[in-house]
Structure 1
Amino acid sequence: MPRRTHRAHAVVTGAGSGIGRAFATELARRDGRVVCADIDPGTAEDTAAGIRSRGGEAVAAGCDVASAADVDALAEKARAWLGREPNLVVNNAGVGAGGRVVGDTPLTDWQRTLGVNLWGVVHGCHTFVPALRRARAGGVINVASAAGFAAAPRMAAYNVSKAGVVSLSETLAAELSGTGVAVTVLCPTLVRTNIFGGDLVDAAAGSLARRVAGAVGFSPERVARMTLDACDRGRLYVVPQPDALLLWHAKRLLPTPYARMAGVLGRFVPGPRDKEA
């Protein structure tokens, strides 16, 4: 089995916290050299400093993945620091969004959500994949979500962004088939991170999600380990939690009843319209 995630020359976006920090830390534990990128350079440096304090090799970089120019600059910095092209790219940076129905969700929320969650991954693949294709080795890990196939109400912008990441990953896997480059897409449900507190998430809906994640969600460290192991095995999909797998199969086997069930459950999710009613 190829050990792509061991001794990797890696770039991780959204590495300042949550799953991104867990990816960066675990890659360093596997003797990798890691470029820790985040829109907040301070949190990126916190992650890199934590890795260095344990004897690992890491550098921080500020990067807004919604900007193609920023991702190109990240690639330049990575090449300069690594002394070579990265052979593992983790497109993880993302924002949470939810709580409003379609039509009430501001278009600015749509634009920002798609800009980071979808275009950020597009930019990462566009910038880093050509070198991987030429090398005929390495891996790409794109972080999507079970939201990409679950289509929960009041989460349209987030759902669409993550569905796009799943489709992009599937297409990329087909294009890179036979090259030795693995493509893995992560589709978790609730993970214990700070994504529920973003300014695009309705406060009541975010509070509920945070409580549920605290009770039943996986830790980011567990999710990162599972995903990296799957990349080593050449697996395309990582659907780590039992509830995510249940949604995955239910959507495919019973699509129409699934949509009706999701609609019923969506009525219990708090949101601005409920407050006004």
Structure 2
Amino acid sequence: MGQALAHRYARAGDKVACVDLDAARANLTRAALPGEGHLALSANVGSDDAMEQVHERIASEWGGVDVLVNNAGIATGGAMVDTTMAEWRNVLEINLLGVVRGCRLFLPGMIAAGRGQVINTASFAGLAGAPSIMSYGVAKAAVVALSEQLRAEVADKGVTVSVLCPAFFRTNLLESWQGDPKLKSFADRMMASSPDTLEGVADRVFAAVERGEFLVLPTRHEPMRWRLKRWFPNLYFKQLLKLVRARGAGH
């Protein structure tokens, strides 16, 4: 989705800095963007030093950014009893602290300029309370909480905050999978059967962020599921357990 958003902002006339763990992939993305002046940078968002170097490079080239998209993440899956501490540390280092690093480094420039947008990619997994995605769901829920608190902190400083909570649609997220292979297969099937496309999700995200929306649910079924959970939490929980049991029967 990061690549799709890069294209969406470039089509709007913005200069985009493409940051990827893989330098070749970052360069391919940059080369395919419309317009000029884009940057390709290689960094591990789980590294303090690497992210500081990204910030220094962008500061030297552009002085700062108007829009920060904290999108990098890895996928994990498994019940609490099947997780390892190494899995927890890894997913929190990347999916949560990667967002923290981006915000800490780029927010001061936005606040000084009196304008900016922070876009943090969480997941509907961070809202759903679903089982068997323990470390992933907890990390994404933390990104939602971080975004809520940050939104209040910068509300009077000219900076807006949005948090993205999509469900399944086809991306390359499963390339980073760590955990139960049966759950990976289930996630792959859910991606394949999703009514949402990558480009459609990116367009909905871009439009929602431009409108100033905070909680962005860019996949088709999630707005209703979120309302069901908020308004009828016990009914939502019963429906969730039904889905879980049906999935178990399918295995």
Q: Report the TM-score, using the length of structure 1 for normalisation.
A: 0.84
State the partner residue of 1:87: 66
Whether the 8 Å contact between 1:143 and 1:187 is mirrored in structure 2 is yes
Give, in whole Å, the separation in 2 of the partners of 1:217 and 1:105.
Answer: 31
Shift of 1:208: 2.4
Whether the 8 Å contact between 1:92 and 1:142 is mirrored in structure 2 is yes
State the partner residue of 1:207: 185
Count of residues in Structure 1 that have an aligned counterpart in Structure 2: 250
Higher helix content, 1 or 2: 2
Give SS of 2:208's match: helix
Give SS of 2:19's match: strand
Q: Matches of residues 157-196 of structure 1 in structure 2 within 5 Å? A: 157-196=135-174
Shift of 1:115: 1.0
Whether the 8 Å contact between 2:195 and 2:220 is mirrored in structure 1 is no
Q: Is residue 96 of structure 1 aligned with residue 75 of structure 2? A: yes
State the partner residue of 1:249: 227
State the partner residue of 2:112: 134
Q: Report the TM-score, using the length of structure 2 for normalisation.
A: 0.92
Find the partner of 1:47 among 14, 29, 38.
29
1:15-43 deviation per Cα after TM superposition (whole angstroms, max 9, x unaligned)? xxxx0001111111111111100111121
Find the partner of 2:40 among 54, 60, 66.
60
Q: Is residue 234 of structure 1 aligned with residue 212 of structure 2? A: yes
Q: Which moved more, 1:128-137 or 1:246-255?
A: 246-255
Q: Which moved more, 1:158-167 or 1:255-264?
A: 255-264
Shift of 1:199: 3.2
The code of the aligned residue for 1:26 comes to R
Give SS of 1:182's match: strand
Shift of 1:220: 2.2
Give, in whole Å, the separation in 1 of the partners of 2:84 and 2:114.
Answer: 43
Whether the 8 Å contact between 2:76 and 2:133 is mirrored in structure 1 is yes
Q: What is the root-mean-square deviation of aligned Cα atoms in Å?
A: 1.9
Percent identical pairs in the alignment equals 36
The code of the aligned residue for 1:120 comes to G
Going from structure 1 to structure 2, the CA distance change for 1:55 and 1:135 (only over 3 Å counts) comes to closer
